[in-house]
Amino acid sequence: MPSVNIPYVGVVEFPDTMSSEDISNVIKTQIIPNAPRPDALTAPPSTGAADTVQRTLYNTINAIPFVGQDLAERVAGKPMVAAGSAGKGLMALGNVLNESRLSTALEMYEARKGKYGQDYELATPEQKIDFADADKKLNQYLTENEAHKADLKAIEAKYGKDPLAKRVDSLEETPEFKKATGLQQAGMIGKELVKNLDEFPEYVMNLGLGSLP
């Protein structure tokens, strides 16, 4: 059976008797219009979490007797990768609840669609009202998640990433990596880390700061 991975819906299987054109038409006219989707973001991305970490580092270093002021000025003049990583970690920690709600809401959404149809055509009028409210909440969770991702991108754009993290990112975008199995991908990343052992300590530190939860 042919299957298609549809954004915010997941993998949908279609009968072998359906042509590619029929599948495409069903996706466009029946599935996509009814799929959950995030609302348009109204607020610009924020780097506030990382900015707070940077200011805290500045104030802490500035308090060191004799040398603190000179060192603090260097910190203030250039965004630190470590501050960005810590900021992303704090944001991830703050997004844990929404991630949990989103995961649960998506599971319930899939169950509703499977039981009552893509348009809830098998549901009672009362159920359709309840399902509409549930779908609205799901879209809200999706919107919050998209805002979270936008903030993370803004932090990376301002504070950057350490050299080894950039190398790993580039590796993950290659066709060879995308075609590889999970075990093969782990091996490819491992080889990249071994080739750049001098950059490994900074990579591990920033990876840890960015994974606070």
Domain ranges of the chain: 1-35, 41-160, 161-213
Question: What residues form DSSP beta bridges with 6?
Answer: 10
Q: What is the DSSP string of 18-72?
A: S-HHHHHHHIIIIIGGGS--PPPP-SPP--HHHHHHHHHHHHHHHTSTTTHHHHH
What is the distance between the alpha carbons of residues 175 and 73, in angstroms, rounded to a whole number? 43
Is the Cα torsion angle 140, 146, 149, 151 positive or negative in sign? negative
Q: Tens digits of per-residue pLDDT, 36-73?
A: 777 777 788 999 988 888 888 777 777 777 666 776 67
DSSP single-letter state for residue 123:
S
Q: What is the pTM of this model?
A: 0.68
Q: Are 160 and 83 a contacting pair, CB within 8 Å? A: no
Q: Tens digits of per-residue pLDDT, 131-181?
A: 999 999 999 999 999 999 999 999 989 988 888 888 888 998 999 988 888
Q: pLDDT confidence of 77, banded at 50, 70, 90?
A: low
